A and B are shown apart, each in its own frame.
Chain A
């Protein structure tokens, strides 16, 4: 009575049993109030953090005259920096560029605040020296050669910054006199806070919060609830292997969770792209970061989904078994900020997921480490300097950014981490379906 089946391609074949289980799972989740509550809570949690971020982007950051050269100590109307450039005596009211022929008009004092921008660039200046004397006060004609090169590397007006491969640390910046001594706090802080926000929400908000809690609440019951409700009987009475039921349920769960993660990533990405500091109207380069954050979160929800579904199948109160895992992963996440190359991180899911985000940050922002070090150095006014502080935002960025810890290039790190996570998912699928296959169901 049934016509013989048409020749199947892979998609037609998948559309049959596996597709049916997945589609059923998605429709089932859509009818459950709890699904929407969980997704809604996730949205609210992420959105509150975004509000704080948007607020911080709106705040004015006070520009600090780190080197004091906007002051007019001698009261002649010319700021110290301007007098220094023209070689007049900043402490003598009779000596100023106004006496030149033709006379030079005095600069407004603001011009001598933040006059050094921030512009460390490793690639342009070789491997070990950075910095650029934007305001020209290092290259003054009357400076001696030893003043222009007091870090003695035979390059005038630069900063020595070495990276110790063995220890994985950057050296203390060793600066020539008056190079980058008054960086632009606002410009730095906005950029640093923006990057710190992306890393923080990507790592803790997306990979950790969404990556663990969505599977915790949505995947733990994938098999277990059907077993407890005895609706599993309908599925088990069909010619489909339990391993495929397990996989189909996971695919259905991902059919809910992945679009949600992608949508959340795009929404937050758009908001931060418009609100963040940029030359144009939108930070297009950040899209690479958002792709990495979304991708890492998708992989995390896949692996944790397999894990928690297996735990739920194993025991009625599988969520109790899942919670220690969540705690372990939180510990690993915190550890990854401080010791990104700790080998214990290899025994976690989140360590590999965060690797993807860290690696992407190095691709999207190639000068990341220089940028952090410059902020921590704070124009030479860091430890023991006048202001005793690194630039605003530098500490936050330094806390959330970490090396990938694998010691290979960022792209290779992304590839390796992806394969490891997929491998973890595969193993957990096999373990989970083996547990399911051994279960007697009544």
Chain B
């Protein structure tokens, strides 16, 4: 009942050794309900190593899942284990975990270096160790130059990187990032994505949540899709995509002469419809996205078309969800 003088966290963590025979993250039949609302239903998931994207629209249960992992919520039923330990009962696993919360509020009066080194001390580092560690992680996310500026004067992307830096203290084995790209400018996005990919290459287990498919696609292929609190799909993004190739897709092409391009494209068997939304834009309806994309570059180059952009407007989370739920998604 006394204060923990050894300061290694509750649960006799001096002896706490992560169980290497179990997955880093393990959820078994985990549900979280608020009254009649099911935030999460019967999630079973085991993850170890690599970058995993947690995809889901707003309200799908991503944040609830992360809050369960971070010991901030108690599961209504089922078990949550990190390195084999229940995080609601024992904060010891957090010695090996870094968390980037979604919330934007930070302690604006602190400098980035002060913020990171202070929270590094909560990992059990001394003042001096914490300062060295703060220098290292801030350098890792590319903020060394501005490390001694107040957080209140940081741009959104910079703040996001500070949060990531603070999570990387003590070189954690599991890094959990809740919507790390939300609201960032393109440059910050690229930097953050690179950092996440780098962590994956270093052999860490990384969980990244997002509601935007393209973002996740640029980071990882291994995804978990949540929808209305349920685990909808788990696995390789491309494998899921393959299955989607047989359903109707739209490709939008920006070009100088849509009519000429349409004439060439209509010959392709996979294309069954064409429309012209505006004077320099062409939309193609297809049920085989891959084949069209295979043919398209050659067709454009061979016929000398001037093309400014090629987009797949419905190749996003919504359409995947629509496909996976059989059109039941909103």
Min Cβ gap A260→B in Å is: 20
**Interface residue stretch chosen among B122-130, B217-225, B304-312, B318-326:** B122-130
| Residues in A whose Cβ lies below 8 Å from that of B103 | 230-231, 233
| Residues in A whose Cβ lies below 8 Å from that of B95 | 239
**Interface residue stretch chosen among A5-13, A45-53, A277-285, A403-411:** A5-13
Q: Cβ of A16 and Cβ of B107 under 8 Å apart?
A: no
- B166 contacts partner chain A, Cβ-Cβ < 8 Å: yes
Min Cβ gap A368→B in Å is: 40
Q: Cβ of A430 and Cβ of B1 under 8 Å apart?
A: yes
Q: Of the candidates A6, A23, A233, A441, which one forms a contact with B118 in the assembled complex, judged by CB atoms under 8 Å apart? A: A23
Q: Of the candidates B67, B72, B109, which one forms a contact with A31 in the assembled complex, judged by CB atoms under 8 Å apart? A: B109
Residue of B nearest to A441 (CB): B72
A239 to B123: give the CA distance in the assembly, Å.
6
Taking A231-B107, A236-B70, A442-B73 as contacts, is the C-beta distance between A13 and B7 under 8 angstroms? yes
Q: Cβ of B166 and Cβ of A18 under 8 Å apart?
A: no
Interface size class of B (residues with CB under 8 A): 35 or more
**Interface residue stretch chosen among A59-67, A241-249, A309-317:** A241-249
- B154 contacts partner chain A, Cβ-Cβ < 8 Å: no
| Residues in A whose Cβ lies below 8 Å from that of B122 | 16-17, 20-21, 235, 238-240
Taking A5-B124, A24-B118 as contacts, is the C-beta distance between A239 and B72 under 8 angstroms? no
| Residues in A whose Cβ lies below 8 Å from that of B67 | 440-442
- A19 contacts partner chain B, Cβ-Cβ < 8 Å: yes
| Residues in B whose Cβ lies below 8 Å from that of A235 | 119, 122
Residue of A nearest to B70 (CB): A237
- A347 contacts partner chain B, Cβ-Cβ < 8 Å: no
- A100 contacts partner chain B, Cβ-Cβ < 8 Å: no
A20 to B101: give the CA distance in the assembly, Å.
20
Q: Cβ of B94 and Cβ of A244 under 8 Å apart?
A: no
Min Cβ gap B155→A in Å is: 19
Q: Cβ of B72 and Cβ of A440 under 8 Å apart?
A: yes
- A101 contacts partner chain B, Cβ-Cβ < 8 Å: no
A16 to B63: give the CA distance in the assembly, Å.
30
**Interface residue stretch chosen among B8-16, B19-27, B268-276:** B8-16
Taking A2-B170, A239-B95, A241-B4 as contacts, is the C-beta distance between A16 and B119 under 8 angstroms? no
Taking A19-B121, A237-B94 as contacts, is the C-beta distance between A10 and B5 under 8 angstroms? yes
| Residues in A whose Cβ lies below 8 Å from that of B11 | 241
Q: Cβ of A231 and Cβ of B105 under 8 Å apart?
A: yes
Q: Cβ of B3 and Cβ of A239 under 8 Å apart?
A: no
Q: Could you tell me which residues of chain A, from 18 to 40, have a CB within 8 Å of some CB in chain B?
A: 18-21, 23-24, 27-28, 31
Taking A16-B7, A17-B7, A233-B72 as contacts, is the C-beta distance between A239 and B13 under 8 angstroms? yes
- A44 contacts partner chain B, Cβ-Cβ < 8 Å: no
- A14 contacts partner chain B, Cβ-Cβ < 8 Å: yes
- A15 contacts partner chain B, Cβ-Cβ < 8 Å: yes
- B97 contacts partner chain A, Cβ-Cβ < 8 Å: yes
| Residues in B whose Cβ lies below 8 Å from that of A16 | 7, 121-122, 124-126
A14 to B127: give the CA distance in the assembly, Å.
11
Min Cβ gap A47→B in Å is: 29
- B303 contacts partner chain A, Cβ-Cβ < 8 Å: no
Min Cβ gap B195→A in Å is: 18
Sample of 14 further A-B pairs with CB below 8 A, known A240-B7, A240-B122: A2-B129, A13-B7, A17-B9, A20-B121, A233-B101, A233-B103, A234-B101, A234-B106, A235-B122, A239-B93, A239-B123, A241-B11, A243-B10, A441-B73
21 CB-based A-B contacts, threshold 8 Å: A16-B125, A17-B7, A20-B118, A27-B110, A28-B109, A230-B103, A236-B91, A237-B70, A237-B97, A238-B119, A238-B122, A239-B8, A239-B13, A239-B91, A239-B124, A243-B3, A243-B4, A243-B10, A244-B10, A247-B3, A442-B63
A residues engaging B (CB < 8 A)?
1-2, 5-6, 8, 10, 12-21, 23-24, 27-28, 31, 229-231, 233-244, 247, 430, 440-442
B residues engaging A (CB < 8 A)?
1, 3-11, 13, 63, 67, 70-74, 91-95, 97-99, 101, 103, 105-107, 109-110, 118-119, 121-127, 129, 133, 166-167, 170-171
